[in-house]
Amino acid sequence: MKPIFLDHASTTPLDPVVAEIMVEVLKGDLGTGNPSSGTHAFGWDAATAIESARAEVAALIGARAEDIIFTSGATESDNLAILGFARGRADQGRHLVTSRTEHKAVLDCARQLEKRGWQVGWLTPDRDGRIDPAAVAAALRADTQLVSIMQANNETGVVHDIAAIAMICRARGVCLHSDAAQSVGRMLINVESLGIDLLSISAHKLYGPKGIGALWVSPRARPWIEPIMWGGGHERGLRPGTLATHQIVGFGRAAAQAREHCESDARHIEALAERFRSGLADLGGLRWNDHPVHRLPGLVSLSIAGVEGESLIAAMPAIAVSSGAACDSASGEPSYVLRAQGVKAELAQSTLRVAFGRFNTESDAAVAVSAIREAVTELRSQDAPGSPAGVYWKMGKSGSLREGAQVRCFVRLDAARRIAAVEFRAATCPGVRVVLEGLKSELVGRFAATPELGDPRDWARRFGLPTEKLGRLFRVEDALRAALEAAGET
């Protein structure tokens, strides 16, 4: 059976109503015409449908339809907002302010600008993950052209005080961009009352299709935005390319659904999140990373002490969730968002992001609680002190949770100095655990002085482990050798 989908912060399933209208477009005449073709009815009808969808997207955020620019998603919108604005304002000054907890689309744009001679003011959040508006004010300079702060964080769900930040920026004559991919559809938003200048949206975060999004550009910011792609005058000259009618119509219908159901959806998913939180409250060793007050409804980020992130997710096949840690399988680097909040690497490494959605039920929340409790209990018991440690066992240790792999090896020798038993206690990924189980059976009976361990590269091939896990296998080898050396000294 497929797991229960609880990863709505990464994407949302296509609403059946949205899918239905997209199929109608693809099968009918609307899917035939190019909306830029102004010489026949097929093009006119497609253009009319697109403008209706544009109006629905604009209504969702309290904007004018003519200020909505369709893109391929929030990532492209972020790029157009930051790089396009920087291109248009470079002769006015070259300073940008953003935070260390932004989406990679914003962080990478800022780093690209640094390579082009811009200076970036990097803001650090407080321990609860929020960016203090006063910190924004302090970071502004006479040559600051743009501030980019997301409305809600994609990992933790922490909501920033964008209205207060916008007021500061407006008073200093600085434009403000906000990535609202996570918040649009989960919160009621009005760009005019927020006082911002640029807003990025993605359809697939509000039960619409993937591959389509929008950038709202205020009249105040429009004169300074230049395109970052060329090839036609589409989308007010800012985004060339033939418009995908079926995707845009689907986006429009998803926006209309979100505007109608936003408040009821928010109540529903937050009730599920509260049930989830209360079900885990007594588990122990938990750190709740979502802000106690200023947070998105339905999104829960928690770090769990005493377990390893990959192993935890692998031990819960009943639910589809993500790790809040932006981990590279080779380096084991923990989430940069949580590290910026001061969360220790070991704890950030063991993080879950659970995000409920429109179609989840109370039963789904209960299953999630049970799955996490059982997995955590099992993994903690595997790494518990005690057996096999004892007078006849010798231990070797290598690595650490900070490095993404910690291995303890216990060996017991018989009277002939052969390996009578070997056990591992490891906080590492499931693939490495498979190798550990295989090594246990292979090593028993071998002489401790010459065990013919083989090479970790051979282990990877024999047990079908990806080569990027070799760093963790070397930790296994180090722990095993240390245990055998300790046993050989007695």
Catalytically active residues are 327
Dihedral of the alpha carbons of 330, 342, 177, 353, in degrees to the nearest 10:
60
CB atoms within 10 A of CB 470: 16
Q: Can you tell me the distance from the alpha carbon of 487 to that of 411, in angstroms, rounded to the nearest whole number?
A: 7
* Cα gap 21→255, rounded to integer Å: 13
Helix (H) or strand (E) holding 335: none
The amino acid that residue 309 corresponds to is G
How far is residue 4's CA from residue 348's CA, in Å, rounded to a whole number? 24
Sign of the CA dihedral with 160 first, then 163, 165, and 166 last: positive
Residues 129, 131: Cα–Cα separation, whole Å: 7
Running DSSP on this structure, what letter comes out for residue 265?
A: H
Selection from 172, 99, 114 nearest residue 141 by Cα = 172
Q: Which two tokens stand for residue 67?
A: 């200020």
Per the CB < 8 A criterion, the answer to whether 61 and 216 are in contact is: yes
The rounded distance, in Å, linking the Cα atoms of 173 and 176 is 10
- Rounded alpha-carbon distances, angstroms, from residue 44 to 57, 283, 323, 370, 396: 20, 60, 46, 54, 74
Percent of the chain that is helix, strand, coil (3-state, to 5): 45, 20, 40
Rounded Cα gap, residues 293 and 129, in angstroms: 12
Three-state SS for 143?
coil
Give the helix ranges, DSSP H, for 281-302: none
Local structure of 282: helix, strand or coil: coil
